[in-house]
Amino acid sequence: MTAHASDPRPLTSRRDGALRGRVRVPGDKSISHRAFLFGGLASGRTRVTGLLEGEDVLATGRAMRQMGARIEREGDAWVIDGTGNGALLEPEGVLDFGNAGTGSRLTMGLVGPYEFTTTFVGDASLSRRPMGRVLDPLREMGVQVLARSKDRLPLSLRGPRVAAPIEYRVPMASAQVKSAVLLAGLNTPGVTTVIEPVMTRDHTEKMLEGFGARVSVETDGAGVRTIRLEGQGELRGVPDFVVPGDPSSAAFLVVAALLVPGSDVVIENALMNPTRTGLVETLREMGADIEILNPRLSGGEDVADLHVRHSALRGVSVPAARAPSMIDEYPVLAVAAAFADGTTRMEGLEELRVKESDRLAAVAAGLAANGVTHEEGPDWLTVTGRPDGRGLGGGTVETHLDHRIAMSFLVMGLASEKPVTVDDATMIATSFPEFEGLVTGLGGVLEPAARSEHSKG
């Protein structure tokens, strides 16, 4: 369990001067999880720089260490000596993933086909999150699932003597489900096939190829992707693996710079994979001044520097088809929309109901607490903004242990007329431990809130 459940740390942000400077955001969370997973499984040595050292990612590293990988920090790099594909060891204790939804689901896929028992536990937030979408295809491959409550942590997996390769059509746009099935295919004889009607972030496919797996991707005329993985092949360590900057972390600084008058900020080394740039695309449609500088390749991925200046934004309609490329960025987009001229409508948000919190409900409640005109539907949200921020702020936001809710509303307080308080900032460390330091380094004001202000929770 993590400490924040019992010891909250309320934090307040308030408007002060412009934000200015150059910052480098920490490594991408999705790629960092996979670096530990693939490096820990590959034969030979992988050296990783730029890894996100948040609690979620480190939980994945600990799990791989429990299953036989050697993982050590050397200077600014992580050095991983993997077990070799098919050679993971049965862990002696439980695998504790804390708050890490991605780490737990991907690891379930990885270990599912092994003929041993693995027990997964997590904190209160993770234990409420449904795991069935990953467990269903694993059951088709022959994996047994033992759970105290239906498909939720704590649960144990036991693999069959020989797992069965499957052809699995992913029923929702989910990179985690796709990735879990592909990872399960690594220790399964034959070809595992995943059919993806809507493209999601493709780091798993790219990285599998980089580590030497035999994987192929075909896209038909309707955009349906078919991914085939040949099982039980060799994975080889990558001597110099560089993790690009996390676009979901960069999003908070981008929006803060757009909203705070006079701001001029450069965010270096941001991942620009086309499956992850929905927010930048949407903000530009809203009138954001975001210049993409020095585009380049790093670790097989597109990266660039983002030059962001304060901008007058206008409301737009965000199509449901864009949701997979910005699913984690909707809370901070809702904050940007609160300062835009007109109404912004966001559709296709059902996935937000099953994040660290019911993220859609948490966003709507945070907007309500801070005087923002909005409407919430089952899978949509509209926000009607006030370009000058007048009358906005002054509320306390319940984060529900959700790091993205906490950071989004702290960004709001940097631009609103009245300060904004979040009931707990502790869990920000799960994904973006440098957040507070980077914001204050650019000139933003974050300060401890009096406990009494938020005692209602």
| Nearest-10 crossing angle of helices 101-111, 132-140 | 10
Two structure tokens written together for 437:
């330091």
Nearest CA-CA partner of 196 in 164, 216, 174: 174
* Helix, strand, or coil (residue 185): helix
424 given a catalytic annotation: no
Q: Is the dihedral of CA 340, 345, 351, 355 positive or negative?
A: positive
Contacts of 84 (CB under 8 A, 6+ apart): 41, 42, 43, 234, 235
Catalytic residue among 328, 402, 423, 424: 328
Cα dist. 257→251, 263, 313 in Å? Answer: 10, 5, 12
- Residue 193's DSSP bridge partners are 167, 228
Q: Identify each DSSP E strand in 189-342 by its residue range.
A: 191-196, 215-219, 225-230, 241-242, 264-271, 289-298, 301-309, 317-318
CA-to-CA distance for 93 and 103, rounded, in angstroms?
Answer: 17
Active site (catalytic) residues: 328
